[in-house]
């Protein structure tokens, strides 16, 4: 990575860490529900984890460390983020493997199955048809008892994408006060240029077409946690 690319990465990463630390996207509440869901599903039995778009793993790894994972595979496109994840994954009570791949490639290559596929605030970057592909590929990589846990921004059922952008950026500008004005505007520009959130109904329909049952778990404004499992 060039010096300029490294500087850009860490500038964006510092902003994202400020957002996480301020809990603007409800990472703490969602993380607690994820931990509760995994404890109920797997108890003290070991379970394997594929973490797609793991980033630096700083929010998910501490949750996993309190459970009983038997294997952890983290996937991200950023080599720099994976370097940070390597440090955070040391807290896990199991072997950890980190791979530099995009999430669809990670699902398409290989045939290993996982008890848990987890992805957080990553799927909304894909266009609608690629999200359908994601569910098809994920379904094939789950064990019979496997779960897919998806944390992401999702539009309300009556929101078009432009309405969502308008409402989200208005809330961001008014409520995310720990960010500088420059950071707020950069975040607004990033999400309006890159984000393609769906409604839960759309994601549930795609999952069902792939043979997965969909269940909403928690919702904090547009920030939602959903659970997908093999249909009986």
pLDDT score, position 2: 43
Structural domain harbouring 134 = 14-155+198-228
pLDDT score, position 5: 46
What whole-number percentage of the chain has pLDDT above 70? Answer: 95
Lookup result for tokens 């799927």: 123
Is 184 a member of any domain? no
CA dist 156 and 160 (Å) reads 8
Is 171 a member of any domain? no
Is 209 a member of any domain? yes
Is 104 a member of any domain? yes
CA dist 189 and 15 (Å) reads 13
pLDDT score, position 232: 64
Among residues 60, 71, 57, 228, the alpha carbon closest in space to that of 139 is found at 228
Is 47 a member of any domain? yes
pLDDT score, position 220: 98
CA dist 196 and 80 (Å) reads 25
CA dist 147 and 166 (Å) reads 33
- Whichever domain contains 64, its CATH number is 3.40.50.150
Token pair, residue 79, equals 């080599």
Is 111 a member of any domain? yes
Average pLDDT on 85-98 reads 95
Tally of domains within the chain: 1
Q: What is the overall mean pLDDT for the chain?
A: 94
Is 173 a member of any domain? no
Is 175 a member of any domain? no
Taking each continuous run of H as one helix and of E as one strand, the counts in the chain are: 9, 7
């Amino acid at each position: 990575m060039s010096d300029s690319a490294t500087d850009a990465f860490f500038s964006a990463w510092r902003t994202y860490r400020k957002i996480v630390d301020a809990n603007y996207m409800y990472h703490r509440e969602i993380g607690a529900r994820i931990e509760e869901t995994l404890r109920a599903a797997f108890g003290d039995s070991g379970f394997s984890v594929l973490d797609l778009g793991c980033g630096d793993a700083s929010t998910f790894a501490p949750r996993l460390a309190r459970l009983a994972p038997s294997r952890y595979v983290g996937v991200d496109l950023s080599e720099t983020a994976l370097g940070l994840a390597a440090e955070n994954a040391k807290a896990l009570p199991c072997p950890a493997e980190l791979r530099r791949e995009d999430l669809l490639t990670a699902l398409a290559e290989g045939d290993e199955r996982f008890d848990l596929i987890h992805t957080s605030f990553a799927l909304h970057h894909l266009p609608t048809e690629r999200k359908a592909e994601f569910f098809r590929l994920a379904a094939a990589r789950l064990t019979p008892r496997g779960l897919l846990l998806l944390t992401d921004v999702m539009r309300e059922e009556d929101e078009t994408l432009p309405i969502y952008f308008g409402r989200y950026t208005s809330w961001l500008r008014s409520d995310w006060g720990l960010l500088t004005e420059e950071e707020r505007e950069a975040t607004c520009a990033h999400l309006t240029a890159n984000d393609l959130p769906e409604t839960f109904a759309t994601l549930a329909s795609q999952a069902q077409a792939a043979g997965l049952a969909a269940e909403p778990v928690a919702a904090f404004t547009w920030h939602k946690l959903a659970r997908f499992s093999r249909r009986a």
